[in-house]
Amino acid sequence: MEDNQKEKIRDFTRDYFKWSLQDREDKDNNVLERYVDYRDEFPKDEIEKVLEADNPRDYLTDLTFNWDISCDDWYYEDEFWKKLEKFCEENSIDEYEARDYIYETFCWTYPESFLNPTFNAVVIINNGDMNYDFTKHNILNYAGDYGYCNGLEKTAGLYFLAKQQRKLTLLKKAIDNPEKETGDKFVDSCITELEEATCHMTALTFLVEMDLNTAIDILEKQKEALKNKVYNEYHPNETKGAPLGFITLDKSTTCGLFDTWNGGGSLLEIELEKDVKLPLHLIDRIDTDDTIQSTYGLSYEYWGDDIKEVKIA
């Protein structure tokens, strides 16, 4: 096929699929965007695999590449092939050569919105209690006498939260006299959360809607920081500031104590009074809602668009 014929076929194809060209401002772009129905969703089990991968971004790239090469998108373009046949007849172009050129030149991919799904994220906090199998919240519950901790220790996730909410001193006093309400909604809700914990391995947990790319960015920043020894994951509360960056959560965010390892926890009803500025180095893991749903069976109202800012250093 001559170059001028290739150009005609290329222009014909681009004009036909102009609604689906990924970057319409790039005249040399030959990437076509698949139509995705509003009922089509990024597989949830694949979101879990991305989050658990050693290299989340690479896993996502390999996954979508395999999807692309396994899809025979051209098979469903009956109307396009009919018009191409007529176009080739009118321009004295061999139809089969034109088809081969199209196969070689154009490729299909999924919309960015499909490849970056928003999911119900379960953000587990490690303030140093990971080093103690997350047993530092056994203060007022059934395991309080088992010797796991001595009051609200510095390594407890709730210690970070109370300090961040500027209620640490008041919470410590309330723990010493839990029968007496303080009238402070944050402190009183923390006391109830500690008393109602049904497991001995509970971590401070936030429930937020998060897009997959944000989760990947956070996880990869952590991996890079660990490799470069920017912080110690076993003693994260000794890190000053937020060297990796932070996320800001609205004060309406659902949070509480959850045991993702055994399936249990408390009420998830800590009442925040201030937005939470959460350093990225305190995030132990980001999960989907599978385990917490199998434990509680929560309404989706427990998750909201509560991430106000994401800052990655």
300 and 151 part of one domain: yes
pLDDT per residue as tens digits for the range 241-277: 999 999 999 999 999 999 999 999 999 999 999 999 9
100 and 153 part of one domain: no
Residues 6 or more apart whose Cβ sits within 8 Å of residue 178: 140, 191, 194, 195
Domain-ending residue, one of 71, 98, 115? 115
142 and 78 part of one domain: no
Integer Cα distance of 259 and 200 in angstroms: 8
Give yes or no for a contact between 231 and 253, defined as CB atoms under 8 angstroms apart: no
Residue 24 confidence (pLDDT): 58
> Which residue, among 161, 160, 162, 157, has the nearest Cα to 173 in the 3D structure?
162
Q: In a structure prediction context, what are the per-residue pLDDT tens digits for the chain, which is 313 residues long?
A: 888 999 999 999 999 998 888 765 665 678 999 888 878 889 999 999 999 999 999 999 999 999 988 888 888 899 999 999 999 999 999 999 999 999 999 989 998 889 999 999 999 999 999 999 999 999 999 999 999 999 999 999 999 999 999 999 999 999 999 999 999 999 999 999 999 999 999 999 999 999 999 999 999 999 999 999 999 999 999 999 999 999 999 999 999 999 999 999 999 999 999 999 999 999 999 999 999 999 999 999 999 999 999 999 9
129 and 198 part of one domain: yes
209 and 196 part of one domain: yes
247 and 281 part of one domain: yes
Residue 88 confidence (pLDDT): 94
3-state secondary structure 14-58: HHHCCCCECCCCCCCCCEEECCCCCCCCCCHHHHHHHHHCCCHHH
140 and 275 part of one domain: yes
What pTM was computed for the model? 0.89
Residue 76 confidence (pLDDT): 86
Segments forming the whole domain that contains residue 175: 118-312
What domain count does the chain have? Answer: 2
Bridge pairing between strands 264-265 and 203-211: unpaired
123 and 44 part of one domain: no
Integer Cα distance of 126 and 22 in angstroms: 40
Question: Strand, coil or helix: what is 246?
Answer: strand
Integer Cα distance of 11 and 228 in angstroms: 49
101 and 183 part of one domain: no
Residue 25 confidence (pLDDT): 60
Which pair of tokens denotes residue 176? 């010493």
Domain-ending residue, one of 72, 91, 115? 115
Which pair of tokens denotes residue 201? 């391995």
196 and 285 part of one domain: yes
Amino acid at 216: I
109 and 142 part of one domain: no
Nearest-Å Rg of the Cα atoms of the chain is 26
94 and 160 part of one domain: no
Give yes or no for a contact between 233 and 280, defined as CB atoms under 8 angstroms apart: no
Helices then strands (H, E): number in the chain?
11, 10
Domain-ending residue, one of 65, 89, 115? 115
